[in-house]
Amino acid sequence: MLPIGPLMIEHRLIERMIGVIKKQITGFERKKEINPEFVETAVDFIRTYADRCHHGKEEDVLFRELNKKKLKDEHKRIMEELVEEHRWGRKTVGELVDAKEKYVGGKKDQLTTILDRMKALVEFYPKHIEKEDRHFFIPCMEYFSEQEKDSMLKEGWEFDKKLIHEKYQNIVSNAERSIV
């Protein structure tokens, strides 16, 4: 299997969640209120799965290895765009979290910001995924030998194995810091 196989499989799950978020936006607009628990679930999914797990493997494994290669200008440009898009996604999710916290704290005028940030993410992810799937991942495999591909695949599996421990170590550390 190419090292991009797991990344493309992850794309399918991200697409499913984006579909759920899109449907929830419609309900939030109709009711003129949000479900804070759903927003927290969506944020957790995007931060943990889409960004830390998925984008983490792209940036920490695939892009790192591509940076060691002499890339065609087009591939270098797309990789730089993808990194910038990852940053934009993190910023947008941060803005969503901030608006949700204000909303929960009583500032109902944050509904507009919450919906705007959620819509931005729903619009962003399909285009981002298409760019990776169709214009980047497959063409970039030409830069690697089979041994390099196997090595990246194994590193991706190791990355995933460590992720859940990292997440829950952070949860416990944050909980410890919050003790009054």
Q: What is the pLDDT of residues 59-75, one digit of tens each?
A: 999 999 999 999 999 99
Residues 6+ apart with CB under 8 A from 166: 52
Closest CA to 96 of 53, 133, 46: 46
Tens digit of pLDDT for each residue in 91-132? 999 999 999 999 999 999 999 999 999 999 999 999 999 999
Q: Is residue 176 part of a domain?
A: no
Map tokens 């998925």 to a residue. Answer: 54
Do the beta carbons of residue 14 and residue 48 sit within 8 Å?
A: no
Q: Is residue 175 part of a domain?
A: no
Q: Is residue 140 part of a domain?
A: yes
In whole numbers, what is the pLDDT of the chain averaged over residues? 93
Q: Is residue 174 part of a domain?
A: no
Predicted local confidence at residue 6, as pLDDT: 83
At CA 15, angle to CA 13 and CA 19, rounded to 5? Answer: 115
Asked whether the predicted pLDDT for residue 160 surpasses 80, the reply is yes
Q: Is residue 180 part of a domain?
A: no
Range of the domain at 86: 4-167
Q: Is residue 177 part of a domain?
A: no
Tens digit of pLDDT for each residue in 130-140? 999 999 999 99
Do the beta carbons of residue 57 and residue 159 sit within 8 Å?
A: yes
Q: Encoding tokens for residue 132?
A: 């990776």
Residues in the chain: 180
Confidence label for 2 from pLDDT (cuts 50, 70 and 90): low
Predicted local confidence at residue 148, as pLDDT: 95
Q: Cα separation of 24 and 18, whole Å?
A: 10
Confidence label for 3 from pLDDT (cuts 50, 70 and 90): low
Q: Is residue 173 part of a domain?
A: no
Q: Is residue 158 part of a domain?
A: yes
The whole-model pTM stands at 0.89
Count of the separate structural domains present in the chain: 1
- State the CATH number of the domain containing residue 161: 1.20.120.520
Predicted local confidence at residue 122, as pLDDT: 98
